[in-house]
Amino acid sequence: MASDLLPPSEVGRLASSFGPGSLATGTMRDSGAYRARTLFQGRESPLSPNKIVKTDAEWRAQLTDLEFAVLREAGTERPWTGELIDEKRDGVFRCRACGAQLFESGTKFDSHCGWPSFYDADPDSVVLLEDRSHGMVRTEVRCANCDSHLGHVFPDAPQTPTGDRYCINSVSLTFDEVGEDA
């Protein structure tokens, strides 16, 4: 089973226990927050022509239990369990479900929150959605290509060029080192 999955009851406690920005009180910056793309109000992002659409059965056949729980059911891996937290090599991070390039190593930084963190995403690679689960207002990050859940983005990283922290599950990503054939 997916024993590395964070129980929903712990999501709120952990999410609000670190970082200078209180995630639960909706302290979004007035301007410049998430240079990204589009913040869709609601759960469904618009389908794009290139979007990969599979049934749950097809995803289950392709993914492990933990990968499915996070990528397709918006679960959260336990902090400090992910294999990519301390990945420091030059390369690119791809969606584990569809292989789309999402983040580059140059935007990865040490946030000490227990999950891989980036200050920006590749252009048009992710979509952002309002997430009101667990009694909080957060911004969910999904892969623009296959609609899989990646993590959340918080405007609480003033030490970075954007001020944003894309807090992404390791299990949602794969890493390709530069120069390595994919």
Give catalytic residue positions: 167
Q: What phi, psi does 125 have (nearest 5°)?
A: -90, -20
**Of 5, 69, 143, 171, which lies in the binding site for Zn ion, with binding defined by CB under 5 A?**
143
Binding flag, residue 145, Zn ion (CB under 5 A):
yes
Interface of this chain with Zn ion, residues 83 to 142, rule: CB under 5 A: 95, 97-98, 100
| Residue (84 or 136) nearer to Zn ion, CB | 84
Q: Indicate whether 144 belongs to the interface with Zn ion (CB under 5 A).
A: no
- In angstroms and rounded to an integer, the radius of gyration of the C-alpha atoms of the chain is 15
Q: Is 36 in the site for Zn ion (CB under 5 A)?
A: no
Residue 170: CB minimum distance to Zn ion, A: 15
Which residues are bridge partners to 163 per DSSP? none
Assign 3-class secondary structure to 31-66.
Answer: CCCCCCCCEECCCCCCCCCCCCCCCHHHHHHHCCHH
Cβ atoms of residues 37 and 144 within 8 Å: yes
- Give the interface with Zn ion as residue ranges (CB under 5 A): 95, 97-98, 100, 143, 145-146, 148
